[in-house]
């Protein structure tokens, strides 16, 4: 199965700033997903990112707050913009191909102060 390298693993950021999270995959994949896991909560889908098209955002998430880049089939970024303490979460990228194995990155633990 594919291997994902997600960076950074953790960060502490000042409110009002932005953080860009990167996911690099060791093979080409069509579909990538970005999830948020708030403290003590389950995973919530932020958006689906397919190469060559705009990301599709779930209800409650908007592009201005969480812009996503998918320049090729092995790379994607998620930016958390104008951060507030409520954005403190673990952010994870994931791959999925037609319902088969879904691989997850190791996650980015974000703390906004």
Partner 1 sequence: AQSVAQPEDQVNVAEGNPLTVKCTYSVSGNPYLFWYVQYPNRGLQFLLKYITGDNLVKGSYGFEAEFNKSQTSFHLKKPSALVSDSALYFCAVRDSDSNSGYALNFGKGTSLLVTP
Distance (Å, whole) CA 39 – CA 89: 6
Q: Please count the CA atoms within 13 angstroms of the CA of 107 that sit on its side-chain side.
A: 12
> According to CB under 8 A, which residues from 77 to 96 bind partner 1?
92, 94, 96
Task: Draw the binding track, 40-79, toward partner 1 (x: CB under 8 A; -: no contact).
Answer: -xxxxx--x-------------------------------
Kindly tell me which residue out of 33, 36, 66, 112 binds partner 1, with binding defined by CB under 8 A: 33
Kindly tell me which residue out of 99, 111, 112, 113 binds partner 1, with binding defined by CB under 8 A: 99
Q: Which is nearer to partner 1, 52 or 99 (CB)?
A: 99
- The neighbour count for residue 25, using CB atoms within 10 Å, is 21
- The neighbour count for residue 72, using CB atoms within 10 Å, is 11
User: Looking at 14-22, 64-72, 73-81, 100-108, which segment touches partner 1 (CB under 8 A)?
Assistant: 100-108
Q: Which is nearer to partner 1, 12 or 16 (CB)?
A: 12
- Whose structure tokens read 């089939």? 73
Among 81, 11, 3, 91, smallest CA distance to 46 is for 91
Q: Which is nearer to partner 1, 85 or 101 (CB)?
A: 101
The answer to whether residues 106 and 24 touch, using CB atoms and an 8 Å cutoff, is: no
């Amino acid at each position: 199965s594919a291997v994902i390298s997600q960076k950074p693993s953790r960060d502490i950021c000042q409110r009002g700033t932005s953080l860009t999270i990167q996911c690099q995959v060791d093979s080409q994949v069509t579909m990538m997903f970005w999830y948020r896991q708030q403290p003590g909560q389950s995973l919530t889908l932020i958006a689906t990112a397919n190469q060559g098209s705009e990301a599709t955002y779930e209800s409650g998430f908007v592009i201005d707050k969480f812009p996503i880049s998918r320049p090729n089939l092995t790379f994607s970024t998620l930016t958390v913009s104008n951060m507030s303490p409520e954005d403190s979460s673990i952010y994870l990228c994931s791959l999925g191909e037609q319902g088969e194995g879904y691989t997850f990155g190791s996650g980015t633990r974000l703390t906004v102060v």
